[in-house]
Structure 1
Amino acid sequence: MPSTDNRLAVRKTYKLYVGGAFPRSESGRSYVVNDARGAFLANAALASRKDARDAVVAARKAWPGWTGKTAYNRGQVVYRIAEMLEGRRSQFVDEVAAGEGSSRAKAERSVDEAIDRLVWYAGWADKIGQVVGSTNPVAGPYFDFSVPESTGVVAVVAPQDSSLLGLISVVAPAIVTGNTVVVLAAEERPLPAITLGEVLATSDLPGGVVNILTGRVAEVAPWLAGHMDVNAIDLVGVADAELGKELELAAAENLKRVLRVPDKAPDWSADPGIGRLTAYLETKTVWHPIGI
């Protein structure tokens, strides 16, 4: 039997996650990902305009089936993702610690909070409708109901400072409420997002509900902001104020709903509230005659 001392390490090829599959970037490009100390970690795919367009197509295709599921079922699926993250906890801890330069104890807390955050949002799946929906009093022989519905395809520029907890905190509320998403992962810390794609691919989440791109924010985000089939965009991960303004202007072309660049970095460990649950909901009002 050959000695294991001389064996070659099996290097991982990091790819995109689009439509439930792992394609290489259409451009054939990649970029170097270093850890917090500057040491080489991996080569990640450098997404292009074509990759962004493919991701939007996949998200749009998946949206009718996903938003058509019951809220209870969506909650079950998101809870299953939390279960699978728990099973790969050690790997996520390693990747968060390496990318963010944090101690292992701090990385463990961050990963545990990300798992708990998924469970928390899963629990809200079949409750948010009762909180933001209503039966409205009207002057006439009618029932009048206001019912929340998903917005559609949401583009997300993931937080740069929190590669897993921040990512989960912006993606989970969007999909729990029936939207599909295209995520541009943290540019310098993409590995937890890539590993999350592997988790999603083997979970109960239908392909295309979450699509993950890796690459340069300044290069890919404008294509998502200006895409006419993207209904909303979250700019929380845009660090450049000038770029943020440009993306807001591009998003205005088709009246996208925009979550603007925050004035200061959010505290991802804080109680998230329901703000992001309601961010991508539209209200449909239905009138129905009484007695018919």
Structure 2
Amino acid sequence: MRLCKTVEEVRSFVTSVRFEGKTVGLVPTMGYLHPGHLSLVHEAKRRCDVVVVSIFVNPTQFGAGEDYQTYPRDLQRDAGLVADAGVDAIFAPEAAEMYPPGFSTSVDVAGVSEPLCGASRPGHFRGVATVITKLFNIVRPDMAFFGQKDFQQVLLIKRLVEDLNMDIQIVDVPIVREADGLAMSSRNVYLSEEDRKAALVLSRSLSLARQLVAEGERDVARLKERVVREIQSEPRAEIDYVEILSVPHLKQLDLLADNALLALAVRFGKTRLIDNTVLEA
């Protein structure tokens, strides 16, 4: 496995494998990898000849007071995990490599970036769209792989690729959960033992919503009210948002007439977790 720290290094590697006629898959991550990330790697290995994993904690998608400085980092650990999974190359640049002096360009994707995390984390998706555009231009993958836990991000990247005529297939992979239902996240390491137990209310509330829809409930306000009530039954939970929106445009709904996204963002102590499910109407 090759470790590339510069744009020139990873471009040279990709050029060499393309010369051999091989397809390239990219798995963009911010590191501190867990089985959810590895599920993306396994899918990329299944579909592509060569797999590149990027590991880069992107400063432009963090806002003031967020956890950029403390976000968990362990490149040596991550490199061991992806080497065992059969990854061909890691691209792990420093921030100055991606944003050199004089850097002054950003990418905005309107519409789908505005609700949910776009509303509660201003500028977040501008940072995401900008760094993903850079990674796509640097690695030039045939396919790129993203987890459905970041469902809004997946929709944004699909919109970006379509609008800018990028010749890249975006593959979204289902959420990977712990045995007790908690969605895997690098930020789970922040949780205290008490908050870790409390966070199970997220998967319980999603299950409740799916059950209600299966029983015939279609009123979005009533569904949201039941989900909010379930989350608020956990004293350690502080809701950022609970929303049910159309897919793929993330518009407000009154009634479920088609599949819709139920998305949650909830704080447990200082840790903000997101989770979601698609309600199949």
What TM-score, normalized to structure 2? 0.25
Q: Which has the larger radius of gyration?
A: 1
What TM-score, normalized to structure 1? 0.25
